[in-house]
Amino acid sequence: MTSGSSARVIPLHRGRSAPRGTTRPDRDAPVVTLPTSQDSGPLPTDPVARVLTFLRHRLTGDYPVDEFGFDVELTETLLLPPLRVLYDKWFRVSTHGAENLPRRGGALLVSNHSGVLPIDAIMVGLAVHDEHPEHRYLRMLGADLVFKTPLLSMLARKSGQTLACHPDAERLLRAGELVGVWPEGFKGVGKPFSSRYKLQRFGRGGFVAAALRTGVPIVPCAVVGAEEIYPKIGDIRPLARLLGLPYFPVTPFFPLLGALGTVPLPTKWHIEFGEPIRTDTFDAGAHDDQLLVLNLTDQIREAIQHMLYRRLAQRRGIFRG
């Protein structure tokens, strides 16, 4: 236990140190021991008691964070409650296939991306936590823009997210965590309304190679409802370049209505988790087979696209679901 205002950092488990001047390969990277809410004792169920306990831990520094900065207590106390209002009351999210999420052990969740702002990723993370019987956390891999934005970067780190890079992804997967990736990136979240529910390219399959290296299953995920929260009908590219953004969206309400135009439409959402795709059945070194990696990438992309089309065919309406 520490004194003062410094949090307890959960240390890395290290094996024998590498010789001086050498670089350890990614597969031998140290595995992170990740915190759970039990590290600082069970959180009180009463909201007032929980807040008071949270404040006491902040003042004494008696709370754990992992090497990525993940603060379970802050996430549970301050971040998740307001997000549940969006999840339950505004978007009225219905989840399907939660039984396909592994109860324990590492797995890579791969989802479509849409909605101008990445609210869909946040809702998927909340769906994993609240619908999973073990209330697991989804460790999301974010774009560098997230971690260059001052306040957003702090919130992302505190809630367990990290930069989308292979070493971090593989360390988390080997530590037995659920890791979330959105391969469409800005191409998906910023696509025009006319291209809704049409998956963009998944890149060169770096996420598949990470799963093959660590032998974890890949869980496809489809989100219906996020495409319509900010119908993007235009893009002011000179302003986007000036601000250092991938795009500056124009919707029927933004920027015409100013801040009011940033309120997302209350569409009805469906989040579906598909059947896991195993990677531990392939030979060692399969991650170096680029043809295999690309084929698996296409298989996962087609699985998500099929889930989207099937869920859309069952939808009664944008706002009714």
Picking from 3-7, 189-193, 236-240, which range would have the lowest pLDDT averaged per residue? Answer: 3-7
Average pLDDT of 267-272? 98
Give the model's pLDDT for residue 83.
Answer: 97
279 and 215 in contact (C-beta within 8 Å)? yes
Query: pLDDT tens for residues 252-266?
Result: 999 999 999 999 999
Average pLDDT of 292-310? 97
The residue segments making up the domain with residue 129 are: 86-229+264-314
Domain-located, residue 192 = yes
Q: Quote the radius of gyration of the chain (alpha carbons, Å).
A: 20
Residue that wins the pLDDT comparison between 205 and 228: 228
Query: pLDDT tens for residues 4-30?
Result: 445 665 543 333 333 333 333 444 444
Check pLDDT > 90 for residue 233: yes
Mean pLDDT over each residue of the chain, to the nearest integer? 88
Residue that wins the pLDDT comparison between 304 and 9: 304
Domain-located, residue 80 = no
Q: State the maximum Cα–Cα separation within the chain, in Å, rounded to a whole number.
A: 63
Domain-located, residue 256 = no
Domain-located, residue 210 = yes
Give the model's pLDDT for residue 311.
Answer: 97
Our count of domains for the chain comes to 1
Give the model's pLDDT for residue 8.
Answer: 61
Confidence class of residue 195 from pLDDT cuts 50, 70 and 90?
very high
Give the model's pLDDT for residue 7.
Answer: 63
Residue that wins the pLDDT comparison between 45 and 244: 244
Domain-located, residue 39 = no
Query: pLDDT tens for residues 157-166?
Result: 999 999 999 9
Give the model's pLDDT for residue 300.
Answer: 97
Give the model's pLDDT for residue 49.
Answer: 86
Check pLDDT > 70 for residue 246: yes
Give the model's pLDDT for residue 44.
Answer: 74
Check pLDDT > 70 for residue 225: yes
Domain-located, residue 74 = no
Give the model's pLDDT for residue 271.
Answer: 98
pTM metric for this prediction: 0.86
Picking from 2-11, 58-67, 113-122, 294-303, which range would have the lowest pLDDT averaged per residue? Answer: 2-11
Average pLDDT of 129-136? 96
Give the domain CATH number at 170.
3.40.1130.10
Give the model's pLDDT for residue 204.
Answer: 86
Check pLDDT > 50 for residue 197: yes
Q: What percent of the chain has pLDDT over 90?
A: 79
Domain-located, residue 259 = no
Check pLDDT > 60 for residue 193: yes
Residue that wins the pLDDT comparison between 14 and 236: 236
Domain-located, residue 18 = no
